[in-house]
Amino acid sequence: MKKKIIMLAFLVSVVSFALAACGDSSKKETKDKKTLRLVTGAVKTLDSVKGSDEVSFNIIQNTQENLLIFKDNKIIPGAAESYTVSGDKKTYTFKLRKNLKWSDGKALTSKDYKYAWMRLLNSKSGAPYSFFLFGVVNGEKYFKNEVPASEVGIETPDDSTIIVKLSEPISYFTQIVAFPALAPQREDVVNRYGSKYGSNLNTQVYSGPFMVSEWQKGGKIELVRNPNYWNAKEVKLDKVKFTEIKESNTAYKMFVSNQLDVIAGAGEYLKPLKDGVKEGKWNEINEVGSSVFYTLYNLDSSNKLLKNKNIRLALSIAINREGLTEKVMRRNIPAYGLVPEGIQVGNINYRSEVSEPLKEVMNEDPKNLFIKGLKELGLDPDPSKYEINYLLQNSDAVSKMQGEYMQNTWKQVIGVNVKLVTSADFSDFLSKVDKGEFDMSSSGWGADYNDPMTFLDLFTPENGSNYGKYNDERVNELLSKIKTMTDDNEKLKIYKEVERIEVVDNPAVAPNYFKEIYSFQKKYVKGLELPRFGGTYQLRWTSIS
C-alpha cells in the first residue's frame, strides 16, 4: 500500500487509473460538478484495523484522517495540529486540532485514536498490521495477552492529546502513524455493528475528506465530499467514482476516446500512450515505484515440495525476469532482491550499498537443484512427475498472461508441472491466501514506510501478512536485534543478511520485478498524487481545471 501495497493486485500494478468523463455530457458533468472517476480492484473492507491490501487502504486513506498524513511522500499534520518528541525519542505527544468532527457531527477526539490502536493490538481482532504497534511500551505483550490494556504505552490525558511511549526509538514511527491502518475508529459504531463493521457503507462514519456514498461489490464504490471534514473548504472534488474494470484493453480504449482521465501504460499500449504525450494529448509521469512483486511460497501447504529450500530456490532461479518484464509486460524492472530502489536506512540508499542477493546464484542449474531437493525429500527425482498449484491474483487477461509465462518457464527449464488457479477477483485472492489455499501465489508488497524493514519483516511469525507461514529463527533473531539499534551502518549489515536468507538461503519468495510507474494523465487533471506509501491515490488535493 501505497502502498500499501499490502498484497498488490496485478490489475492495480499494471492497470491503475483514475477515470473521469464519458462523452461530451460526462465531460460537462466532470468539470461542472467536480467529479473524478477512478478504477479500483475489489475492495475487501472499510475497517482500517482489518485492512491488509492497497485497494482497501486506498479508500480508507481518503475517507479517514490519521494524526499525520503523507503529502508528496513527506509527513505533514493531519488531525494532529502538532506533535513533539522527547529527547530520548521514545515519547510522542500529539495535539489534535480544535473542533474535529465525524461525518455524523459527533466530536472526533484522541480517545477515538487510542480505541482504534488498541483494537489493532487486540489479538482477537485478527488485525494484519497489529505488529506495527509492537514497539509501543507493552504493545506486543498486550497482543500476547501477557499484560492488561492499562499497561500499554498509549495515553489520552484529555480529548485533544494522545501520548505514545515507545520501548526503543523507531526512526520511521511518524510514517507508521500516517499509515491507513492507524486511522481513528468510533467505539460505539464498531460495537453496534460487530463483525459487520466495515463490510458495507451503512456501518461506517468518516473522519477524512470524503465519505462513501455508494458501494456495489463487484461493480463500483463512490465517494462524496465530507462537509464535516476539518479542511473541507480545501477539497476541490465533490465526488469520486471508482469502477472495477478488469481488462486493460477496455481501459485503454476508454482513455483514448476521452472517457478516462488517467491510465497506467503497459504492454502493447505503452508506445501509443507515449506517442500521445509527444502529440500533446496528455501528460506522462514516469518513476520507479516502491513495490516488489514476487512468487510467494506456502510452507504450510499440503504439497511437501515447497518445504524444501533447494526446490524453492530452483523455482526462483529458473524465472527469466528479463523475459517477463521486456517481452510479456513490456515494463517494470527485473527483481533479484526484495527491497526496491529508493528505500533508505536513515540517509543511506539501501540498494546503492547492497547488491540484490539472487544475482550471486543465478549461474546455478535450477533443474539439478530441484532434483537435489527431491532426493532430500526421499522422492522420485523426476520433476515431471510432480505438480504445483499457482494462484493468480485475478481473472483478467494480464494476470493469465503472466501466469502462463511462469508456468511455461518452469516446465521448460525444470520439467515440473504447474497448474494455474484463477481467483475471481482481488478480494477472492486475498481470501484464498489468508486461508492458505495455495502452494505458490503471484503476490506483491508495496512499502508502508521508507525503511527496508517494511519488506523484510513480512515473513516473521507475528506479521499478519505472512501468508506463507515462513519462520526462520535467524531472521527472527536479527530483526529483533535491530529494534534496539540506532547506528544506520550496523542496521544496513543486518538488513543485508536478512534479505539474503529470505531470498537465497531459505527462500520465502522468488522476487519477480519491481514496479515501474507509467501514469498518463489528461491535461485538466491537477494534483493527483500517487503516493509511495499507503493506498493508490491521495485525492484531497486533486482538482479538474
User: Taking 80 as the threshold, does the pLDDT of residue 19 lie above it?
Assistant: no
Residue-wise pLDDT tens digits, 102-130? 999 999 999 999 999 999 999 999 999 99
Q: How many CB atoms lie within 10 A of CB 407?
A: 18
Mean residue pLDDT of the chain comes to 90
Cα distance between the two ends of the chain: 28
Residue that wins the pLDDT comparison between 143 and 245 = 143
Q: How many angstroms separate the CA atoms of 243 and 26, rounded? A: 15
How far apart (Å, rounded) are the C-alpha atoms in residues 329 and 268? 9
Beta bridge partners of 244: 40
pLDDT for 497: 98
Q: Does 234 score more than 70 pLDDT? A: yes
Burial of 46 from C-beta contacts in 10 A (0-12 / 13-18 / 19+): buried
| CB-based burial label for 484 (10 Å; 0-12, 13-18, 19+) | exposed
Of residues 96 and 72, more confidently modeled: 96
> How much is the pLDDT for 438?
96
Question: What DSSP assignment string belongs to 347-370?
Answer: TEEHHHHS--GGGGGTTS-HHHHH
Mean pLDDT to the nearest integer, 121-150: 96
- pLDDT one-digit tens code per residue, 386-418: 999 999 988 888 889 999 999 999 999 999 999
How many angstroms separate the CA atoms of 15 and 248, rounded?
6
Helix (H) or strand (E) holding 142: helix 139-143
Least confident of 247-261, 293-307, 311-325: 247-261
Residue 257 is predicted with a pLDDT of: 87
Say yes or no to pLDDT of 495 above 50: yes
Give 402's contacts (C-beta < 8 A, 6+ positions apart). Answer: 10, 324, 328, 329, 442
Give residues with Cβ within 8 angstroms of 28, minimum separation 6.
none
In single-letter form, the type of residue at position 398 comes to V
Please say if the pLDDT value at position 266 is more than 80.
no
The predicted-structure confidence for 470-481, as pLDDT tens digits, reads as follows 999 999 999 999
DSSP secondary structure code for residue 224 in this structure: E
Model pLDDT, residue 33: 55
Model-level pTM greater than 0.85?
no
What burial class does residue 538 get, using C-beta atoms within 10 Å of its C-beta: 0-12 exposed, 13-18 middle, 19+ buried?
A: buried
Res 76: pLDDT: 96
| β-strand pairing of 387-391 with 440-446 | parallel
DSSP state of 535: S
Number of Cβ within a 10 Å radius of residue 32: 10
**Does the structure show a pLDDT above 80 at 530?**
yes
CA atoms of 211 and 229, how far apart (whole Å): 10
Residue 540 gets which letter from DSSP?
T
pLDDT of residue 15: 38
String of DSSP letters for 473-507: HHHHHHHHHHTT---HHHHHHHHHHHHHIIIIIS-
Q: Are 238 and 225 in contact (CB under 8 A)?
A: yes
Report, as an integer, the average pLDDT of 301-326: 96
Give the model's pLDDT for residue 204. 94
pLDDT at 138: 98
Return d(Cα 93, Cα 39) in angstroms, integer. 38
Domains along the sequence of the chain with CATH: 10-200+524-544 (3.90.76.10), 291-515 (3.10.105.10)
pLDDT class of 353 with cuts at 50, 70, 90: very high
Please check the confidence at residue 31 and state whether its pLDDT lies above 70. Answer: no
> Who has greater pLDDT, 86 or 393?
86
